[in-house]
Structure 1
């Protein structure tokens, strides 16, 4: 069965809406060009940004064999007191990508002794993305190509949708009728 023009437009519109929502995620390099380093105000960096679930933080830093920097995800207490234990992840690649997977506050510090105390820490608040609106039903199309709105099903007094006047169980294909019906 061929899809009418209205159906095609509805499908294309729904797909575009979904793609625009998917493309809304952002990738943030923490500290921009400076990266993850000492002597940088990360709270000032974060203050003009709104982070959403699905966005990605990229921590770029120098990491030698001696382990100059790292990224440790910590609790509020760990952030406040510069304590790495317990933690929710230690990253040491020098180019760590962390996808923000849930709404709420997140705290990150450098676990190298003295670095967090010197300000190498970041607190962000992650928000839920705006909801995707439910697609509206495609309008019905007549045989002459004119689109007409689909009428709401008629209701009986018991709240069960009434059959439309042009349909009857006898005209329905056998594959959708329950076998217990007497006319099947």
Structure 2
């Protein structure tokens, strides 16, 4: 059960990183347009690519189940998010598009598999209570992270929030290293 809690925390960090891509991108797209697109068009492109990647990831999840483990996919997600931070720090919207789409693909790949992992860990009589707790964690924690990160970004700049996200992603990476068993 401890590894499930670790994984939920790691996924919450990942979700918070994805949640801040649009607000952070908005901050610099106003002054630095992408391919002569208006800010709204660039953000629509970002949201559309993320959604498509999430759907494709979910669709191929079953096919890749025996090829890519949950732990490997989580490592890939953390590395992709670190590269996404490079896009934030260098104010490069092309990198943000690429890496947020890749991360959304991994999120789509992981979602059904994480649900299966959780269901296997929980006794049937506790399923309702645990499922509602997990739902609260996976909704509330990323939302709180997002509020804090957007506040930091608007108050102190993109580099400040990138540094904090870097620390959280490194924490997630260390937590992954501490999960010894295969998942």
Structure (1 or 2) with the larger CA radius of gyration: 1
- Greater share of residues in helix: 2
Greater RCO, 1 or 2 (C-alpha within 8 Å, sep 6+): 2
TM tier, smaller: under 0.3
TM-score (norm 2): 0.25
TM-score (norm 1): 0.25
- Greater share of residues in strand: 1
